[in-house]
Structure 1
Amino acid sequence: MLKKIDKAAQYLAQNIDLLRCPLCHTSFRLDGYALICDNRHTYNLSKKGVVNFLTIKPDTTHYTRKMFEPRRNLIQAGMYAPVLKAIQHQLTPGNLLDVGSGEGSFLELLDVSGHKFGFDIALDGVNMATDLTEMQAFFSLSDLTNLPFADQSMATVLNIFTPSNYREFDRVLSHGGQVVKVIPDRYYLQELRSAFGLPVDYDNGDVLAKFSENFPDFTQKEIHYEFDLPEQQRQDFLSMSPLEWRISETDKLEIAKNPPKKATIHVQILQGYKS
């Protein structure tokens, strides 16, 4: 089996024309384990096969393995299977960019007739994504406002529960390419919110309005169902979301004695095409 760094180097060699330098926006060449642009800005592959394109420190404090592992467990247990099935039907041939890809499980579970790319600012997330050894993809630490991908290099930008930058999305999308964005709707994870003593209703109006501004002819699909949490994943459910950050350790221990047994998934899948 190839080492992760060699697997990533091979993938980059095949797709070098899909990247661009985030500093000077020129093209890259691959020299061993280093990406070197026309102006000699150099980015090295880590041992895990990840490139750090950030000009700031990656997040090692908030979005960590402690949160990503429970999330992966729940994704792989099928909690988002109907959502992923709906996204799968919307994918078109070509390259796919997963924005804020976290630990990579969403990208792994989608079939793409093109190449897969994911990025995040969370170091633990991209490193965990490289553990999904059956997946052919390239992961990086990248800035949403200055993506290291070439103009018109992606057929689909996938944006699941993460921030957007529509200027950059428009730049990297090929003509007729699409953004598929998943946003929480009113009752999303209401059991978790209730357990934590937080307001149950979620308002996605501002996010929806911003998408509509950029894609006036967008379509949306509502997905709403309950997922029976397997007993071994009920503690994972309490740790899978940033909502947990608002709760004291004392309260967490008390809630963990009787965790929710169901999870409501209520989302809108928005689809907009580049004109």
Structure 2
Amino acid sequence: MLKKIDKAAQYLAKNTPSLRCPICHASVKLDDYALICEAGHTYNLNKKGSINFLTIKPDTTHYTRAMFEPRRQLIQAGMYAPVLAEIQNRLTSGNLLDVGSGEGSFLNLLSVSGSKFGFDIARDGINMASEYTELEAFFSLADLTNLPFSDQAMGTVLNIFTPSNYREFKRVLADDGQVIKVIPDRYYLQELRTAFGMAVDYDNQEVIHKFAENFPDYTQKEVKYTFELPPQLRDAFLSMSPLEWQVSASEKARIAQNPPQVATIHVQILQGKKS
């Protein structure tokens, strides 16, 4: 079996034209285990097969393995299967970019005719993505406001529960490309919010309005269902979201004595075409 760094190098060899230098925006070439631009800026592959394109420190404090691991368990158990099925039906030919890809599970479960790319600012997430040894994709640490991807390199930009930068999205999209954005709606994870003593009052209208400004002919679909939490994953449910950051360890331990048994998934899927 190939080492992760060798597998990544092979993948990059086929996909170098899809990347650019985030410092000077020049094209890059693969030289052994590094991407080097025309100005000499160098980005080395690490042993896990990813590259750090960031000019700032990656997040090693908030989005950590302690949160990504339970999230991965729930994704693998099928908690988001209906959402992913809707996304899969909307994918077109061309490369797929997963924005804020976390630990890579969503990208792992989607099929596309082109190549797959994922990036995040969370080091643990990108490191965990490399654990999907059968996944053909390239992951990197990168900045949402200055993507290390070439103009018109992507067929689809996928934006699940993460911030957006529509200027950069449009730049990297092919002329016939699209953005698929998934946002939480009012009842998303309402059982978790209730258990933590938080109001179930999420309002996504401002996010939808911003999307509509950038993609006036967008389509929108509501997806709402409940997922029965297996007993062995009910504790994981309590740890899968940044919501837990607002809850003390003692309060979380108390809730774990009688955790939620179901999870409501309530989202809006927005699809906008660049053209």
- TM-score tier by shorter-chain length is over 0.9
SS of residue in 2 equivalent to 1:54: coil
Cα distance in 2 for partners of 1:28, 1:13 equals: 11
8 Å CA contact 1:190, 1:201 repeated in 2: no
- 1:114 paired with 2:123, answer no
Q: Deviation digits for residues 45-66 of structure 1, max 9, x if unmatched?
A: 0110110000000000000000
1:31-42 residue pairs with structure 2 within 5 A? Answer: 31-42=31-42
Q: In structure 1, what is the equivalent of residue 72 of structure 2?
A: 72
Spell out structure 1 runs of 4+ moving beyond 2 A: none
Is the 1:194–1:200 contact (alpha carbons within 8 Å) kept by the matching residues of 2? yes
Residue 85 of structure 2 is matched in structure 1 by 85
Taking the aligned partners of 1:11 and 1:244, their CA distance within structure 2 comes to 37
Q: Following the alignment from structure 1 to structure 2, what is the Cα–Cα distance between the partners of residues 197 and 50?
A: 39
Residue 220 of structure 1 contacts residue 268 of structure 1 at CA under 8 Å; is this kept in 2? yes
Matching residue of 1:196: 196
RMSD across aligned positions (CA): 0.4
Does the alignment pair 1:173 with 2:173?
yes
1:217 corresponding residue in structure 2: 217
Partner of residue 227, structure 2 = 227
Give the Å deviation of 1:205. 1.1
Distance in 2 (alpha carbons) for counterparts of 1:194 and 1:55 = 39
Following superposition, the deviation at residue 201 of structure 1 comes to 2.3
TM alignment of 1:94-173, pairs within 5 A: 94-173=94-173
Structure 1: gaps of 5 or more residues: none
Question: In structure 1, the residue corresponding to 2:7 is in which secondary structure?
Answer: helix
Q: Deviations over 1:48-107 (max 9, x none)?
A: 011000000000000000000000000000000000000000000110000000000000
The answer for the alignment partner of 2:267 in structure 1 is 267
Please state whether the residue corresponding to 1:117 is helix, strand or coil. Answer: strand
State the percentage of identical aligned residues: 75
Structure 1 residue 185 corresponds to structure 2 residue 182: no
Q: Offset at 1:200?
A: 1.2
Structure 1 residue matching 2:30: 3-state secondary structure: strand
Q: Is the contact between residue 195 and residue 255 of structure 1 (CA under 8 Å) also seen in structure 2?
A: yes
Aligned partner of residue 193 in structure 1, secondary structure? helix
What's the CA shift for 1:163? Answer: 0.2
Question: Within 2, Cα distance between the matches of 1:137 and 1:152?
Answer: 18
Partner AA of 1:184 in structure 2: P
TM-score of the pair, normalised by structure 2: 0.99
Q: Secondary structure of 1:237's match?
A: helix
Aligned residues: 275
- TM-score, reference length from structure 1: 0.99
What amino acid is aligned across from residue 187 of structure 1 in structure 2? Y
Please name the residue that 1:17 is paired with: 17
1:246 has 2:246 as partner: yes
CA distance in 1, matches of 2:217, 2:75: 31
Amino acid paired to 1:94: G
Deviation of the 1:206 alpha carbon = 1.1
Q: Name 1:61's counterpart in structure 2.
A: 61
